[in-house]
Structure 1
Amino acid sequence: MASSHRIDPDARPYAPEGIATKPEVGFEGFAALDLRIGRVTAVDPFPEARQPAWKLTVDFGPVLGELRTSAKITSYAAEELLGRTVVGAVNLGAKRIAGFTSQFLVLGGLEPDGTVRLLAPDADLAPGSVVG
């Protein structure tokens, strides 16, 4: 399912040369994040969202179980996402988006035009594995 959302081909809001660095947070700031490996178990449309998005259900293993998130990653077809390994920040707190509770943030790198490219490990790690 392709997105009908069009991005201005000349817009490059995330071009690396135009993004300033953020202030240092120290190791403690990084260590406060709980980053985990998860496996996508369900992908559902999210027509209520203001911008094109999917509702993802991700298995984060025996301790965390399944968590749900809204993700603006419609450059991926549902079939490409189902079963895929992803990296999630699981301790940022829940956020309500168009009546849906998003429980974690799926991580990705940004193309210059804002298209998200999901982060994933280069080996098959078990759901719930810690990212460090």
Structure 2
Amino acid sequence: MSMGTTGMNGTAPAALIGWDDFLRVELRVGQIVQAEVFAQARKPAYLLHVDFGAELGVKKSSAQITHHYQPQDLIGRQVVAVVNFPKKQIGPIQSECLVTGFHDENGHVALCVPDRAVPLGTRLL
């Protein structure tokens, strides 16, 4: 099936990158240890505390994942996050990582997760 000039989500395909470009993005597995409603966010979001193991420790992230998840159900879940973005001020907190996910057919985010437990801090390669 050809998708022509747009991808399945209606956006144009990204430009090709080299292996070195991919290696610059540090995607690591972390475990959510705390999740709470982020009341100060402009759009509905949770404030997540994600443990990436001894090397990286716990990092905070704002995540707009309120449609599919409740805070108490996120505790203990492993997620994939970008850990080498600069910190970003979001309201009163500094987001220290970007938890990854995919938009479903209605535009709600489903988390990108490993299909089995892996050691915290493991890098995606």
TM-score, reference length from structure 1: 0.85
Residue deviations 1:72-120 (CA, integer Å, cap 9, x gap): 0102111221110000100011000112100000011111322111011
Query: How many residue pairs get matched?
Result: 118
Q: Matches of residues 1-132 of structure 1 in structure 2 within 5 Å?
A: 16-75=8-67, 76-132=69-125
> What amino acid is the match of 2:78?
T
Contact 1:16–1:112 under 8 Å retained in 2: no
* Runs of at least 5 residues in structure 2 that lack an aligned partner in the other structure: 1-6
Specify which structure has the bigger relative contact order, considering alpha-carbon pairs within 8 angstroms and separated by 6 or more residues. Answer: 1
Greater fraction of residues in helix: 1
* Runs of at least 5 residues in structure 1 that lack an aligned partner in the other structure: 1-14
> What amino acid is the match of 1:86?
V
Aligned-residue sequence identity (percent) comes to 36
Question: RMSD between aligned alpha carbons?
Answer: 1.3
Helix, strand or coil at the partner of 2:20: helix
Counterparts of 1:17 and 1:86, CA distance in 2: 22
Helix, strand or coil at the partner of 2:55: helix
TM-score, reference length from structure 2: 0.89
> What amino acid is the match of 1:112?
E
